[in-house]
Each structure stands twice: as structure tokens, then as C-alpha cells.
Amino acid sequence: MTAFTSADILLPKLSQQEMSKWAVVACDQYTSEPQYWEKTAEIAGAAPSALKLILPEVYLEAPDAEKRISEINSAMAKYLADGLFEEHKDCLILTVRTQADGKVRAGLVGAIDLEQYDYNKGSTSQVRATEATVASRIPPRVKIRRDADLELPHIMILIDDVQKTVIEPLQAKADSLKKLYDFELMQNGGHLTGYLVDGDDAKAVFEALDKLADRDDFNRRYGLSGQDVLLYAMGDGNHSLATAKACYEEKKAAGAPETELARYALAEVVNLHSPALEFEAIHRVIVDVDTDKLMQEMNAALGLEKGTDGQSFTVVLNGCCESYTITKPTANLTVGSLQNFLDSYLAANSGAIDYIHGDDVVKSLCEADNSIGFLLPSMTKAELFPTVIKDGALPRKTFSMGHAHDKRFYCESRKIR
């Protein structure tokens, strides 16, 4: 068996109209827009809602964060005591998400074995981080999970299934599966439908995953020799999975009775080659910096030449845009070579970095004195797995998958105590 397996999954016993109030977007979205979460609370009202079981990260550093966590634990206990949930034993759930733009993304909800996950750079585990994990982000999230009765997943994990052997066969036969939910998501989230996957259908999924995990075939696919298999690459929610790992290790060390439950984390597996998944570049802006010095040192470190051959990016400076090629790369991707230099430069010099979506926003920010921007190319899907295999976890903020309202919505849950 691979690291992904079936689970005992809880779904609320609600009407489809009520489910529209239950499901809310991933907690790590709209972190600078409290008004979004205020509107979500208004829509949910007094109805049962996943909003009462999560802590939106916009409130993570709020003065009342401890009180909010206590209220989350109380709400979980109450929902369980009230019999709100129906448990679907030893199963997967096929999710079919129709985004606001009409594109359809299919996935499978199940459990990831945390024993087979290592987020550290250079990891050879079957489940790996795709971007650098910031250790300081884990302890505040551990506080939320440590005493929780339930987990709700916004974790999305990618498989590189070019032949579409795992999820797509189920999607094609969805009409023959038992439908578990079918409802509209709030706040421009689109539509979500879920189907029960168990028995022979689940067996077929695991057999297909086992084939993808064949070590010899894996090495042939990526032109390698003797490498350990990377089957599951983090798409969204890496810090949540890292938090689950930290809680599991904590409980394992203490010999806690719920250790075996804590060993797994509910997640959705999605094929990297889903037409609904689009990678978007995240650009860099440096402010309060000596731009002349930065450009001089960057030119020396990366061997910049004007043009767009090989690893290239565009510099936004003094109202002008100029494209450069890196002739002395230090990573497999442009963003890695650039980030390595920027990290080194900023550690030794003044300046602050920000990560920006959208060319126009970068150009606007760079109108300020002592500011410089870097427009990066989007990473292609085909580059993700080979780069993680070669370089390990990518630099932070390497890519974004879709808009905030297209991110995963909480729907399923699972007992972890």
C-alpha cells in the first residue's frame, strides 16, 4: 500500500441547502481580508458550519485566539454529542468541484500516512513538500489541533498521473456511485459533488497507485537511477500537514491512546494533470533597498545577460522593464536561482521582500523610490515533480494554484481522538 489509504469519514446529516452554509473555504485564504470571513459568518449564521470548527488564519495572531480555539473544541464536542455526523467507514470520497469559471476538478479524499511524510529539504519520503516549510508557522497551528476531536482537511496533494489511471476512471463512472452531497458553495466558490468510493472501486484506486509507485517505473519516467519514489507532492496546505505530523510525533512520544488515529491526516489527492489546475507565478518586490548595489551583485552572482534564453526573468526598475537570462544558475528553476541570491543579499544588506500576484501590481509598487521588482515565468506542470526530486522543496512562494475562491472548501471531517 502507498501512503494514501481509506478512512472513516464523517459528513454532516444536513440538507443540500444547509450544506451550503456548512462548507467554507480553506483557513489560509483571505488572510488580509477579514471582511470575507465576516461575510462567511453572516451567511452561516446559527446553522451548523465548518466555520465553527476552524480558525481562519486572519485571526491566528488575534488577542482572542486562545478563546477562539477553546470555542472550536467546544463546538466539535457539541456536534459529536448532538449526533450531527454520519460516519462512512473505510472509504474514499470522489469529489467533483466545478469552479466559478466552469472548469471541473476531481479529487479523492482519504487519509495520508504521516510516517511516510517528511517536509525537510532533501527528503526521500513518498510524500514530500513542494515548497520550503517555515518551522515557526507550525507551533501556533499545533495549539489548534492538539486537543481537537476532529480534523477537517484543506490539504491538497498532487500525483503525477499522466495516463490518468487513478481518479479519472472513477470520474467517468460517477453516475454509478452513491452520491453523498451535491450543493452550491458560498462566496463564488462554485459547486461541489461527492460520491462514496469503497469496495472494488477503492481497490482499483489503490492498485493504480501501487503501479505509479513502482520504483523501477518511477526511475524510468524521470530519467533517474535508484531514486526513492516521490508519489505525493504537496499542492496546498503543507503547513497543515506539517502540523498534523508534529501532533502525531508528540502523541507517539507520549504513548497517547489516540496515537494510531493521529498517525493519519485527511487530505484530497488530485491529479497534477487536471485541466482545472493552473500554475501561476508569484513575483518578488524588494523595497527600501540600494537598487544599484543589488543589481551589481546580482549580475556578478548569476552572470546576467540581456535576453530570455534559458532561466530568465524581468527586472522592473525606474519605470522600465528589462529581461535578463541567468548564465550561472544555482537551482533547477529561475525562481530558485533568483531566490537563492535574494535570500543571501537581504541577509547581508538592507531591504524587505514581498511576494506579489500580478504584473501590474508589481509595476505599481516599483514606482516608489528604492524599489525593484522581479517578474518571474510561471512554472509548468511538467517541471514540478522533476524539480522537487532534483532540488528538494522549492523556494517559498514559487507558484500558486488558482484563485482563493477556487481553493478547497471544508466538507468532510474525521475523528482524531
The amino acid that residue 87 corresponds to is E
CA nearest to 406, candidates 170, 105, 62, 198: 105
> Is residue 272 a contact partner of residue 158, using CB atoms and an 8 Å limit?
yes
Summary mean pLDDT of the chain = 94
| Grid cell of 323 as nine digits | 529581461
pTM metric for this prediction: 0.87
> Is residue 96 a contact partner of residue 187, using CB atoms and an 8 Å limit?
no
When pLDDT is averaged across residues 16-34 and rounded to a whole number, the result is 93
- Lowest average pLDDT, out of 138-147, 165-174, 195-204, 374-383, goes to 374-383
Residues ≥6 apart with Cβ < 8 Å to 64: none
Q: Which residue matches cell numbers 457539541?
A: 78
H/E stretch holding 341: helix 334-348
Confidence of residue 395 (pLDDT cuts 50, 70, 90): confident
DSSP β-bridge partners for residue 356 = 283
> Is residue 414 a contact partner of residue 376, using CB atoms and an 8 Å limit?
no
Confidence of residue 175 (pLDDT cuts 50, 70, 90): very high
Confidence of residue 413 (pLDDT cuts 50, 70, 90): very high
Q: Which of 89-93, 117-121, 401-405 has the highest mean pLDDT?
A: 89-93
When pLDDT is averaged across residues 169-196 and rounded to a whole number, the result is 98
| Grid cell of 413 as nine digits | 471531517
pLDDT at 259 over 80: yes
Domain boundaries, the chain: 4-276+404-415, 283-375
pLDDT at 228 over 80: yes
How many C-beta atoms surround the C-beta of residue 248 within 10 A?
A: 25
* pLDDT number for residue 354: 87
Q: Which of 176-185, 221-230, 370-379, 399-408 has the highest mean pLDDT?
A: 176-185
| Grid cell of 87 as nine digits | 460516519
Q: Collapse the DSSP code of 53 into the 3-class scheme (helix H, G, I; strand E, B; otherwise coil) and give the result.
A: helix
When pLDDT is averaged across residues 287-303 and rounded to a whole number, the result is 97
DSSP β-bridge partners for residue 375 = 314
pLDDT at 1 over 80: no
